[in-house]
Amino acid sequence: MALPALAQSPDFNKTLWPVFEKAQCRQCHNENGVASTTRLIFPREAATADEITAFGLSLRTLVNAAKPEDSPLWRKPTHRTAHGGGERIRQNTDAEVALLTWVKHLASLPEPAAPSRSTTQSQRKEKHVLRRLTHAQYNHTVRDLLGDETKPADQFPKEDFVHGFTNQADGQSISPLQAEAYARAAEKLARNAFAKGDRSQLIPCPPSDNCRAEFIRTFGRKAFRRPITETELQRYSALHARETDFTKGAQSVVEAMLQSPHFLFHLEQGAYRTASRLSYFLWDTMPDETLLTAAAKGHLDTQSGVEREVKRMLADPRAKAAFDEFLAQWLRLDRLRGALRDRNLFPEYSPELVALMVEETTRTFRSLVWDNGNFLDFYRGDTTHLVPELARLYGVEAGPEPWAKVKLPPSTERAGILGQAAFLTLTSKPADTSPTERGLFVREHFLCQQVPPPPPGVNATLPPVTDEKPVTQRERLQVHLSNAVCASCHSLVDPIGFGLEKFDAIGRHRDKELLLVHPTADEIKTKRKTKPTEYRLPINAQGELRGISGATFDSPRQLGELLAKEPSCQKCVVKQLFRYAMGRPEESGDAPVIEEAFDRFRKSQFRFQELIMAISVAQAGVPATPNRGGN
């Protein structure tokens, strides 16, 4: 197609930006997209008009001014030159005309007119978002505040996973049902707190009118995670005075405070905000008296003060439970606990076996974090913790006692999380494996890459298997890879899953793939066939991690080695912990914080506690001392 003549400068925002958006280019070409290593990075979804305009000009670097028809900006999205995303902009369409028009416009501009990538991305100060207590944090907080172990939040409406976690501000709106649940819980918690007198010792002085203010200040400081104001003191004092009985008045105050936004949301300011952030990140619960005192004395205003408190808090048993929760959410272990399996194919599968799978993964994580191991062994490590049930599943000898550390022989082809039954089961279907799900999980959870959803209206149904043509999953999935619309995404995920096909839907090694061809309704009716036919087909487990040069593999062990060496995987751990700590995904303005935390993580030989420390310092907003990793 010839380049169109230009009568005047086109308006990028009105003409080509909508074309790019419809083509879903930004889904891959973003900081966390599968095309994040290319020269083309789109601005964030909420970009301003000025940022979009600047981005349009920055595309000059993808234009060959001397020969515009050879420009990657035109040839790649139209698939005239090989493009991992396939043909995103159809050839010989109005959309392509808009693209060509812009290419010609950019070709006419002098080279310096193109701003650098760093100037096209907005650099913003730290973003504070409004977050509320998660259900787990609510339970832990009322436990530590009131001594109540009933876990009332277990009865709240289910939380949504947003950006991979349940604590993200974008998913924490309060529905009428949630508000009602908070009111019921507050009433019950306050009543239980004083059901047998002041058994939790919430009242710090002999009950009398003189004690009222001290009680409100003491309890309010804990509940709101900061000193209460004089206005709040007067309001709660008036509420307390409505009851003639001191304890009844205290119950009313507790009930009211438990429904206050200052209890339910993270609204603290200054050093108390830092204390609360640290506590809910490191302990998943409210600050203790030591941390609140440190905030009051200004000890959290410096990096050394923050690090001193973090070290103290990491030594507390609550820290281990808190980071178990991070692991469970990062890996979506909740899905594993609800996973179903065909009992005819997997008779040993049970809730008890699933619990053991989760425990193995948790123990692996704990060992690396709390024994200060190299966290890259989470992907490549050749040891694990087993009980006899899992050892039988893996075909190895169990240790001398339950959960003993066991070295996995190379012949098992297992290593790290990718070789564990938890991951292999989580990413499978009830009757078979799912190469697509396994590849998608690796991309999203271990590489922090966003794989675009399938285009609307695409038929994702695979061809049925028949006795005339029994084929493996790999052969059936070739339908996706041969379809240009499907291949753009499936080519990124399916080849990863193909390399894990020697492990079945509960993580057991297999030499051949079991294929069941069930009788059709007509065959059953005519009695030509009444039960499934079994085929055992050879497995081609050659896999590929596209986008990384030479990244081919045929086992979890080999894939684990590849991931451990890949910088985007190493940095993904930093991003995942950042998202969990901050309650939001990282943005362009967070790049220096991410890089600083990654640098400290890397220099410490990937000790996870050093990463926790770096993210904690970032939470506090204090200047980080450079090159402290590994000290």
Supply the pLDDT for residue 428: 97
What confidence score (pLDDT) does residue 8 get? 58
Residues 6+ apart with CB under 8 A from 270: 295
pLDDT number for residue 1:
60
Using 70 as the pLDDT threshold, list the residues of the chain that sit under it: 1-8, 36-37, 84-85, 111-128, 455-460, 483-485, 488, 624-631
Q: What is the DSSP string of 515-576?
A: EEEPPPHHHHHHTS--SPEEEEEE----EE-TTSTT-EESSHHHHHHHHHH-HHHHHHHHHH
Residue 116 has what pLDDT? 42
Question: Which of 284, 349, 370 minimizes the C-alpha distance to 610?
Answer: 370
User: What is residue 456's predicted lDDT score, i.e. its pLDDT?
Assistant: 65
pLDDT in tens, 198-238: 888 999 999 998 999 999 999 999 999 999 999 999 999 99
Q: Return the C-alpha torsion angle 336, 337, 339, 344, nearest 10.
A: 120
Closest CA to 390 of 504, 507, 503, 556: 507
**pLDDT value at position 520?**
85
Q: Which of 103, 106, 108 is nearest to 89 (CA)?
A: 103
The 3-state secondary structure of 324-366, one letter per residue: HHHHHHHCCHHHHHCCCCCCCCCCCCCHHHHHHHHHHHHHHHH
The full length of the chain comes to 631
pLDDT of residue 121: 36
From the list 448, 428, 417, 475, the residue with the least C-alpha distance to 574 is 448
**Structure confidence at residue 58 (pLDDT):** 84
| SS3 (DSSP) at 383 | strand
The pLDDT of residue 128 = 67
